A and B are shown apart, each in its own frame.
Chain A
Amino acid sequence: MLQPSIPPVEPRPSLNTAAKLNVGDRLLRALYPPRANAWQLRWLGFAMLVLAAIFPWLGGPFYTRLAIESFLFGATALSVDILLGYAGLLSLGQAAYFGLAAYISALMYLHVTQSFWLVLVAVVTAVAVFSLVLGAVAIRAKGVYFALITFGAAEILSKIAHNTRAIGGSDGLIGIPVPRITLLPGVTIDLQNNFVFYYAVLGVLVLIYIGTRRILDSGFGAVLRAIRDNSDRVPYLGYNSFWYKLLAYIMAAQVAAVGGLIYPLLRGFVAPHLFGFEVSTKAVVMSLVGGVGTLLGPLAGSVIVTFLESAVGSYTERHLLVLGVIFIVFVMFLPDGLIGLARRLSASRGKAAP
């Protein structure tokens, strides 16, 4: 009886998506494509490892040291991917942790100790505390504000380093001694030797990659992916997103810090620019070039971008411009990075020859 008088429900737009997205969301969405197949990644990782293993025999000392540098920035790029590819958080301030670790490390070698392990403990502790505090603040801010806060924090650190005479001011710190690292009693790592240095850093990077992969291939990682996909829905499943994001943030900070921990030993100096926007954005570009959300892509991306920069650097001073162009090209034409491209190529070949 009542039925005819009930007003008909007008059809509502299904699938929330396109209509509500603002520019920032659109960029973020472009930045995280679906994940690559596990076996494809495994093969790619294996190929990259083989290439990395033989590289010092092909490259010569200059390129070997450049490759080491690319690995150090690779850790920072990996940290960007942990945040962007898993938790959906775009950090424009991962240099904060690169720089923090570099300065602590440099200062301790200069004034306190020659023990790598003591330095490691100090760096891990400082980065944990700093990232806990900054993360707790930044994560409460949504969307683009997270990027702005992380960016701002790194800039502040950069300015502090710049203006504090005690830590070298704008000149930074130079003449950092290279320590002998005692791995086991009787086994030391001699970083004066390029080959040893190279393989040590490669080993560290591989361990970080495997560790990160393992940690994220878990219930914890699954919740992060859910947050990335639709953070508004997550609380209704009983998850407090805040803690997941915070843990991811702290984890990413530690990974970014590994690069800074070793950098002074490679270059023998630290300077305020290590906190700077260029390091942060470079990490984002590297991650984008390789493929966000793959963990492996950013490592490939860091090698490619570092070598490209070095090659371009012999023609022009305008690094940032090159970085900017790469960024734009990838966002517009290859938002899923080189790994995404490889995946699409192998998919289309698979279709052609079934």
Chain B
Amino acid sequence: MIKVRALNKAFGGLRAVRDLSFEALPRCVTSIIGPNGAGKSTAFNLIAGTLQPDSGTVELDGRDITGRAPFALARLGVARSFQITNLFFGLSTFENVRLACQSLERRSSYLVRLDRLARPQACARAILAEFGLQERANELVGNLSHGDQRRVEIAVCMALRPRLLMLDEPTQGMSPSETAEFDALIKSLTGRATILLIEHDVDLVMSLSDHVIVMHQGEKLFEGTPDRVRASPLVREAYLGVDHAAV
């Protein structure tokens, strides 16, 4: 489904992603974990077209999509969320989701009056209901709680009917109780798309993932099933190393 080969990206002298290769199987959840600064988000940016890789390739369903623009990737079915909430804060929740739905419509319908452009509205209502956001429909996204904003991020992604769903720390900045609620939400998405997940919540990662990739200082340190990752002394050492440094 998604195949990454020998991806490299350096910021000045800092090699944020080094020779990263992995594959994510269709309809499976592949998680990327690793300490802060490991290069996880950079890897996402390279796959989703936010950044151009220095070298390496990205393939989606056998098609080379390396370096394509984000809008082109979105049309191919790549939807991503952002580590730092990135939405239309000055627009309503409904409009945020409706805009995502609208992008699936033919461009020739774009001069139809907005209130007659019915399908995106119906689509947005359905998505809001699914994500428990109906009550927030008319509120500006900028006024929502952090938890609800994170929810809208995922709702927007799902409104795009993605083949590849990329979630960058969806539970970032949430309280433990919010996180628990969110785990269930993310679980409900499995099987609906191929999912790439960056997450610090190890419980969530272990219970959800079919495959886990551990990154450390830009490199893939280890990959395997959750159980094998849990058992790996290499992985534990990498994390412990970080812990010591932090003390």
Contacts and interface: CB of A to CB of B under 8 A. Distances in A.
Contact of B75 (A11, A13, A15, A238): A238
A83 B87 CA distance: 21
Interface in A220-261: 220-223, 225-226, 228-230, 232-241
A240 B105 CA distance: 14
A111 interface: no
B173 interface: yes
Interface residues of B, number: 58
B95 A222 contact: yes
A232 B243 CA distance: 35
Interface stretch (B1-9, B51-59, B112-120): B112-120
B172 A12 contact: yes
B203 A3 contact: yes
A214 interface: yes
Interface string B19-34: 0000000000000000
A225 B242 CA distance: 44
Contacts, number: 129
B89 interface: yes
B86 A16 contact: yes
B71 interface: yes
Question: Of residues A3, A232, A233, A240, which shows the largest number of chain B Cβ atoms within 10 Å of its Cβ?
Answer: A233
Interface in A181-239: 214-215, 217-223, 225-226, 228-230, 232-239
A220 B111 contact: yes
B74 A237 contact: yes
B85 A237 contact: no
B156 A14 contact: no
B123 to A, nearest CB: 13
A233 B160 CA distance: 14
A9 B172 contact: yes
A54 interface: no
Given A12-B84, A214-B113, A220-B110, A2 B235 contact: yes
Contact of A219 (B109, B172, B230, B242): B109
Contacts of A9: 36, 169, 172-173, 200
Interface string A7-41: 10111111111000000000000000010000000
Contacts of A5: 236, 239-240, 243
Contacts of A321: none
B97 to A, nearest CB: 10
B194 interface: no
Nearest to B156: A237
Interface in A26-75: 34
B48 interface: yes
Contacts of B74: 235-238
A11 B200 contact: no
Contacts of B189: none
Interface size class for chain A?
Answer: 35 or more
A217 to B, nearest CB: 6
Contact of A15 (B91, B109, B142): B142
A226 B91 contact: yes
B69 A235 contact: yes
A172 B80 CA distance: 56
A240 B90 CA distance: 20
B14 interface: no
Contacts of B66: none
B114 A2 contact: no
A277 to B, nearest CB: 30
A219 B200 contact: no
Nearest to A14: B146
A2 B239 contact: yes
Interface string B38-61: 000000000011000000000000
A6 interface: yes
Given A219-B105, A236-B48, A236-B79, A7 B243 contact: yes
Contacts of A11: 173
B100 interface: yes
B103 interface: yes
Contacts of B90: 34, 228-230
Contacts of A235: 49, 69-71, 74
A11 B111 CA distance: 43
Contacts of B200: 6, 9
Q: Kindly list the 9 A-B residue pairs having the minimum CB-CB distance in the complex, ordered from nearest.
A: A238-B74, A219-B110, A235-B70, A238-B103, A235-B71, A229-B88, A229-B90, A220-B110, A238-B75
